[in-house]
Amino acid sequence: MGGVIEIPVWFAVLAGLFALVAVLDKLLFPSARWYLRKRLNRAVERLNTKLQLEIQPFKMTRRKVLIDRLAYDPLIMQAVAAHAAETGEPAEVVAHRAERYAREIVPHFSAFAYFGFAARVARWLSQLLYRVRIGLLDEKAMAEVPPNSTVVFVMNHRSNMDYVLVTYLAAERSALSYAVGEWARVWPLQGFIRSMGAYFIRRKSRNPLYRCVLARYVQMATEGGVAQAIFPEGGLSRTGHLGEAKLGLLSYIVKGFNADGPRDVVFVPVGLNYDRVLEDRVLLAAKDANGKNKFSSGPLPVFRFIGHQLKLRITGKYHRFGYACVSFGKPVSLKGFLGRSEGELEEKIATLGDSLMDDVGKVVPVLPVSLISSIMLEAGSLSAIGIKGAAHARLKAYAKQGVYSHIPHKDEDYAVDVGLRMLTLRHILVEEEGVFSVNEENRNVLEYYANAIAHLG
């Protein structure tokens, strides 16, 4: 009993380290977490005083808690039981799969990452690449949105820059939550995107259990008042045309909405347009042998593009890619819409989708490149004077329709010059003895920019 036991020094050191970690975990770490959480909550409270749409408690809830709430939600448990009964799989296996889906979907929002880093980077990058402008914006209508409403920005999808541009422009109003596709699920981008409050979705998945978990998360976030941004088209426009609404996320929001509850859902139509879409030629080339969309671009073209821009920057030949403009339409109350619409719920959702996309189309701004592209696509060949005459007539017609046209320096002739310069620099138009004509090799690019405003008539 009184004998001496010898142990190696490395074992004693290792045991001591484990004991130290156990003490810290039980005593110090909880206190540190409490202190940091308290500081964070105070920072968010101060931030909310500056935001039009406050950061809701749901967004600040710990990710582990949200995952558990989602995975063990009664509706998810019912779906697990139904799936197990249908497939014959053990319920425990199906429940584990549902929890894995929840971990995949649920974000980890960080106010510091969003406002301290992402919003600033978004502003820097947007202004580096474009002359950013806000077109239509009814401040009075936005101010009249009830403060307890869940605001959902509904946007057309022109470029991956849409995420960056709208994050920058909306940073003074709120922190937006996006649905992001599989393309962003790569290290280290995945963690950063989660910290911005974005949630990942498998756009092509038809797995009913996965769809149930995704739908329930969207409904929980909507019930929690999280400001969101959705792209009803479902993906980037490959032709430049405004696409039809795909009703996935929209149907989740509507089906989970309680029209008798205290919180309304307010949709804000957002129209975006660019003088140059960074991915335009890649999007136009994204077709397989059968003519179906097949978007795949490796890192090499991206690095080649960045290298070329850096070279232009160093040599002093760099020019921004024209104008990027965002317009905001009149907010649409979901309670009001459901109250005045008729038919079954599925019919109401389809009608809402069409109506919102129509509202988005109405606020897509007319920019110099789109204006000149639409004129030249019809004319084929025109002098500078002829182009300016056609542009003046179109701008006048747009103004009568209530369409916003961005006219730099309020000078229509200058706007025409801007559009012509960009299209000739990119060899989409060619000039010979004062006459501009379409470069047939790049006609598809001209059509792409003309299609951006084709729905305006």
Give tens-digit pLDDT for 146-156.
888 999 999 99
- What angle do the packed helices 91-105 and 208-223 form, to 10 degrees? 50
**Per-residue confidence band for 36, with pLDDT thresholds at 50, 70 and 90:** very low
Which of 166, 167, 193 is closest to 107 using CA atoms?
193
**List of residues 6+ apart from 244 with CB closer than 8 A:** 233, 353, 354, 357
Are 57 and 194 within 8 A, CB to CB?
A: no
Least confident of 54-58, 79-83, 253-257: 54-58
> Which one, of 196, 352, 369, 152, lies nearest residue 275 by Cα?
369
Least confident of 163-177, 256-270, 316-330, 351-365: 163-177
% pLDDT > 90, the chain: 49
In the CATH hierarchy, which fold is given to the domain comprising 108-362?
Glycerol-3-phosphate (1)-acyltransferase (3.40.1130)
Give the integer Cα–Cα distance in Å for 206 and 438.
Answer: 44
Res. 29: pLDDT tops 50:
no
pTM of the model: 0.83
Print burial letters for 257-280: b (CB count within 10 Å at least 16), e (below 16): beeeeebbbbbbbbbbbbbbbbbb
Query: At 274, is the secondary structure helix, strand, or coil?
Result: strand
Q: Which two tokens stand for residue 270?
A: 């957002």
Given this model, what pLDDT does residue 44 score?
Answer: 46
Q: Are the CB atoms for 371 and 450 separated by under 8 Å?
A: no
Mean pLDDT in the chain? 83
**Any idea which residue has 């699920």 for tokens?**
185
Cα separation, 254 vs 356, whole angstroms:
13
Residue range 416-426: mean pLDDT, rounded: 94
* Per-residue pLDDT at 16 exceeds 90: no
Note the pLDDT of residue 449: 97
> What type of residue sits at position 32?
A
**pLDDT above 70: residue 48:** no
Return the percentage of the chain with pLDDT > 70, whole number: 79
Q: How sure is the predictor about 373, in pLDDT bands with cuts at 50, 70 and 90?
A: very high
Smallest CA-to-CA distance from 273 within 365, 356, 360 is with 365
| pLDDT at res. 407 | 94
Token look-up 């980077």 returns 121
Instruction: Give the per-residue pLDDT at 170.
Output: 80
Q: What is the pLDDT of residues 162-211, one digit of tens each?
A: 888 888 888 777 777 888 776 666 555 666 677 767 788 887 788 899 99
User: What pLDDT sits at residue 40?
Assistant: 46
For residue 214, what is the enclosing H or E element?
A: helix 208-223
Q: Which range has the worst mean pLDDT, 83-87, 92-96, 289-293?
A: 289-293
Q: What is the pLDDT of residues 97-148, one digit of tens each?
A: 999 999 988 888 777 777 777 888 888 989 999 999 999 988 888 888 888 8
Q: What average pLDDT does the segment 356-383 reach?
A: 95
Point out which residues pair with 134 in neighbouring strands. 326
| Same fold? 108-362, 368-456 | no
Q: How would residue 57 be classed by pLDDT, with cut points 50, 70 and 90? A: confident
**So where are the chain's domains?**
59-103, 108-362, 368-456
pLDDT value for 252: 94
Q: Is the pLDDT of residue 35 over 50?
A: no
User: Which class in CATH covers the domain with range 368-456?
Assistant: mainly alpha
**How confident is the model over 295-341, as pLDDT tens digits?**
555 556 656 766 766 776 677 766 789 999 999 999 999 999 998 88
Closest CA to 175 of 201, 151, 141, 156: 151
